[in-house]
Structure 1
Amino acid sequence: MAEDWISVTLYPNGTMKNKLGIRDAAELADLEFQISAERELLLLKEKVKVGQIEDLKKIHKIMFSPLYEWAGHYRKGDFRKGNTVFFPRERFDYAEEDINEAISNLPKKGPLTAENYASLIDKINFFHPFREGNGRSTRTFLQLFALEHEQAIDYPLTNEAMIVAENEADIAKIALLLKVKALAE
């Protein structure tokens, strides 16, 4: 059952089970933010190469492995958040194929548009391969991808508008929220 795999990842109070045994959700969220942000900076500083969606697993593992046993592993079943139902687990190979095809159809060098990145955000968001940390992993993946195109992506300071646009799968809205900048030489 889909709900069984979700419940085994939670303590009875609803806090995500973690390697440190933290049972306070706010404390875990603060530590998760700190650790994932530090590791994201390390990935960006090292300019880790990404070229396929499978690289998202590597990024997720690096960002979340200090906290979660399942870091870098795809979720085991179907998943929803609120009214949003994400891609069915048994069809992940199709999602990977679709995203890899979208990546391969983009220019290998030179600038990409906000719409190019927005389309990838939309596809990866619907894929939603991990139990937690999908948004942060996706943003890091796309920042690394942008670096290969000598660009950086500025995301909105608050997530609310982006979450609404992603839930509506509105690529035009997502693109408007992104600021794509060329890197200075």
Structure 2
Amino acid sequence: MTNPEKASLNEHILTTERILDLNLNPIMVYSVKDILAIHRYIFQDTYEWAGNYRQVNISKSGNTFLPIQSFESGEMYLNSLITEFHKKANSRDELITSLSKILDNLNYFHPFREGNGRTQREVIRVLALSKGFMGQIAPEINAEVYNLYMDGTVYGNLEKLEQLFDKILIKI
């Protein structure tokens, strides 16, 4: 095993343990500050910058993410979506619509250098939980969930994200 492989395996083990901890003691999401806290918790053993915004503009596979110069307005907009979610998303259909918008915008924001996907999935899980739903996005377990998640987030396709949430949201 090479050093990068060992580092990747180590990160996977440490972050998986932290995510399991969050299943028992979730950090509830009321603002972007809570999203930063989730990232900090998951990656505290791996990155010294865990829970802090990235300091450079990034892109992935030709898709650019929100420029760091726009983080303040991005944070304000995401906070408004989260506030609206807590106030208005009460039916399953409203949850599907609202969670799709939040995930789409959080993915475009892409606030961290690494760990955005795992953080996004935890944010969605706790938002769904706050409304009495299980909303576990587990792309590694289900190919259809993986494809809907990737198509929805990579291409900003709200219809795919709505299909994703229609598939995974379960009343508890």
Same topology, TM > 0.5? yes
SS class of match (2:169): strand
Question: Matches of residues 72-111 of structure 1 in structure 2 within 5 Å?
Answer: 72-108=51-87, 110-111=90-91
Max Rg structure: 1
The equivalent of 1:167 in structure 2 is 154
The equivalent of 2:101 in structure 1 is 119
CA distance in 1, matches of 2:111, 2:157: 20
Q: TM-score, normalised by structure 1?
A: 0.80
Unaligned runs of 5+ in 1: 1-22
Unaligned runs of 5+ in 2: none
Q: TM-score, normalised by structure 2?
A: 0.85
The structure 1 residue matched to 2:34, chosen from 50, 55, 61, is 55
Task: Give the total of aligned pairs.
Answer: 162
SS class of match (1:54): helix
CA distance in 2, matches of 1:31, 1:160: 27
The equivalent of 2:171 in structure 1 is 182
Q: Percent identity?
A: 27
Q: In angstroms, what is the RMSD of aligned CA positions?
A: 2.0
Q: Could you report, residue by residue, the CA deviation over 1:69-113 in whole angstroms, capped at 9, with x for unpaired residues? A: 111110001001111100000110111111111111224474452
- Structure 1 letter corresponding to 2:152: A
User: Is 2:39–2:119's contact at 8 Å kept on the other side of the alignment?
Assistant: yes
